Amino acid sequence: MTNKSGSRKELVINFILQLLNSFGEDISRDGLAETPIRVFRMYEELLSGYSQDPKTVFKTFKSNGYKDLVTLTNIGFHSLCEHHILPFFGKIHIGYIPNGKVLGLSKFVRLTEILSHRLQTQENLTNQIANALEENLNPRGLIVTIEAEHLCMSMRGVRKSDCITKTTIFRGLLKKNTKLVDQFYREINSQPSK
């Protein structure tokens, strides 16, 4: 009896062979000999978030009295659109106001990696990041903004490149305090000093 991973691998390889064959490709030619296994390995990597629990990244520390805005900008990500299984990619910006504890900075990147390595819509990804931070960090205020280009729009359908979709979620103090929101946007739009 084959294990789950082995049967998944076999299923994907057979599907890729059938797909190529159905579009008239000669699946016996040299250039395609290793394509099915490469595609399987690619999807294993791109969808690795399903095997990881976002809660595992929440290593927090005392804030030592820090109660002001913490902003992380330009967290790069790649994900797959659940509608066409084509990539969308861009930057994630997160701002939060600690409530007695802070999260290790690399953990924001790890959280993003786990959630973006699943089939997604940009709206769901924005919401999932905000929910995970709210549930596990309990900040006094939170904002999550994603800016992304979707290949399902730029390479098929309307075929419009350089079109950026932006999604934003506000929670707690950042839902009510326009000065903090303005500060967040100034920080994500400022160029880092060299």
Q: Which pLDDT tens digit goes with each residue over 82-98?
A: 999 999 999 999 999 99
> 156 and 184 share a domain?
yes
> 81 and 29 share a domain?
no
Report pLDDT digits (tens) over 31-60. Answer: 999 999 999 999 999 999 999 999 999 999
Q: For this structure, is 163 an active site residue?
A: no
> 60 and 29 share a domain?
no
> 98 and 139 share a domain?
yes
Measured between alpha carbons, how far is residue 109 from residues 3, 24, 46, 77, 89 in Å?
32, 42, 16, 9, 14
**Helix, strand and coil in the chain, % to nearest 5:** 45, 25, 30
Residue 194 within a domain: no
Number of domains making up the chain: 2
Q: For this structure, is 149 an active site residue?
A: no
Which one of the listed residues 117, 120, 122, 128 is annotated catalytic? Answer: 122
> 32 and 85 share a domain?
no
Which one of the listed residues 52, 84, 134, 187 is annotated catalytic? Answer: 84
Which one of the listed residues 113, 117, 128, 150 is annotated catalytic? Answer: 150
pLDDT mean by block of 10 residues, the chain; 194 residues: 73 95 94 94 96 95 95 97 96 97 96 98 98 97 97 84 93 94 93 59
- The domain that contains 35 carries what CATH number? 1.10.286.10
- Provide the 8-state DSSP code for 49: G
Q: For this structure, is 150 an active site residue?
A: yes
Q: For this structure, is 84 an active site residue?
A: yes
**pTM: predicted TM-score of the whole model, two decimal places:** 0.91
